[in-house]
Structures are given as structure tokens and as C-alpha cells.
Amino acid sequence: MADLKDKVAVVTGGGGVLCGAFAKELGRHGIKVAILDLKKEAAEVVAKEINEAGGTAIGVECNVLVKESVEAAEREVAEKLGDCDILINGAGGNHPKGTTSKDYLEVEDIMNPNSDIKTFFDLDEEGIQFVFNLNFIGTLIPSQVFSKKMVNKEGTAILNVSSMNAFSPLTRIPAYSGAKAAVSNFTQWLAVHMSKVGIRVNAIAPGFFLTQQNYRLLLDENDQPTPRCEKILSQTPMDRLGKPEELFGTLMWLIDDKASGFVTGITVPVDGGFSAYSGV
């Protein structure tokens, strides 16, 4: 492992469960961490935990869809911690307006419309655009802004957060699946584009982990698996949900130039075997 102490890492979406856990792990290794989030209070909660544990971190308000906001965040990070060495693009998410109610379209859904059932034909264009922009444009803009000072700087890396949806789309969530597929494709493109200036670009694709967004999708009011969760578990050979700390090994490997210096342009699934299982 390289000595990553005093490197500067920027984590977008760092106020959330998974990226907040990423930020704390980076801080544990002596990396100075800037937690960027649309909700500054959420970012500051994570930063406080890192600082209280003996690390160095700041919480920064940032809208990853507005370039001026990202540029302002970059200036604040540079002033308080230094120029970025490691960028983790974790901002993302889904939206109900980009989601269907059922796995499959059935004839009766068209012949006898039900206001409680949202079919493919009812998907909201603005909802689709929001999800796509949040995940893809929200990865592209921070990459543009923070990578400028990473050019020809030793030990720099960009790590994008993709999803199992990028390998094979899940039912009901076409917007999120398409957006994460774009993130994986962009990871490959950017890795090639940056290959001559010393910036490695990779992605991590988590399987199914409990987060604030999906908690009630996966667990019911009694914290028991929902039918959707049971279906997921039936397709996950390890037969359980992942724990955030089980992503740390892949995280640290991909940002460490000594451990993965010849690795760029890949998306690593951390999914309990989900992507390997055919269902038979």
C-alpha cells in the first residue's frame, strides 16, 4: 500500500450512507477529506465524525449539477485542504417519476387504466432527465472541475460509483439503470482520455446495500425483507445484503497507485455474486 497520508480526497454525495462510509475510511488512512453534499449539514456530520476520530475533514455544500457550484467547492477545498488528488464521484440516486409500478407491462394496464399503477407510458420526462443528470452529469461536471489540477500530478485517481444496473438493468427503474450504464461507459472513456496525463479512472459497482434511499424499498415497517428484497436475495448467491465496510477493500485498492497503478478503465462489482448468477 502507498502512503496516502495527507493526500486530498473529494467525495461527492458524501453525506449519504455509502459515500459517508467511504469518507470515514479515507480519513482513517490519514487522507484529508472534503465531503461534498447538496445538504451541507449532512456533509458536516460526516466531517465531524472524521475530525473527532483524529482525521482531517471539511463539509462543503455543493450542487453537482451546477458547474459554478462545483467550481466554488473546488476553490474552498483548495484553500482549506489543498488541491484534489483523489476524486470519488458518489452523488447519485433514483426518483419515483422515473420508476414504473410493475416489472412487466400487461394488457389490462392499458385496457383498464389504474391511477395507482405507473406504466412505461406514464413515465415523466422531467423525472427521467433528473435521474440521468444526477447520476451522469453529476459525475461529468465534478470530473471536469477537479481533474484540471490533477493533470501530471503523481498518484491521482478518479473513482466513479456505478451500479449493478449498469451490467443488467433491474425492472422498474429504467432511468437509473440507463444513467448508471452511462457512468460505467464514461469511466472507460475518461480512463482512455486521461491515460497520457497520469490520471487513472475506475468505478466501483455496489450490489445491494441498505441506504437512506432504498431502506423502505428493501425492508418493511418491521425491518423484514420486502417482496422486492426477497427477490433480490434470491438472485444473490451469498443470500444477504452487503455491508458498507465490504466496499472498503476495493475502494482503497483502486485509489492506491502502488496497488493498482496499471489498472484503469474498469468497473468492479462488489455484489455477493449477483452479476455472476444466471438465476438457474
Q: Pull the grid cell for residue 55.
A: 482525521
Rounded Cα–Cα distance for residues 212 and 18 (Å) = 10
Q: What is the dihedral of CA 204, 256, 69, 206, to 10 degrees?
A: 10
Site of grid cell 486530498: 8
Residue 34 is placed in which grid cell?
472534503
DSSP letter for 83, please.
Answer: S
Which of 134, 278, 253 minimizes the C-alpha distance to 203? 253
> Which listed residue (104, 176, 215, 277) is catalytic?
176
Question: For residue 24, what are the contacts with CB-CB under 8 A and spacing of at least 6?
Answer: 46, 49, 50, 53
Is 176 part of the annotated catalytic residue set?
yes
Q: Where does the chain have alpha helices with state H?
A: 17-28, 40-52, 67-80, 107-111, 125-132, 138-147, 174-193, 215-218, 227-234, 248-255, 257-260
Which amino acids are annotated catalytic? 176
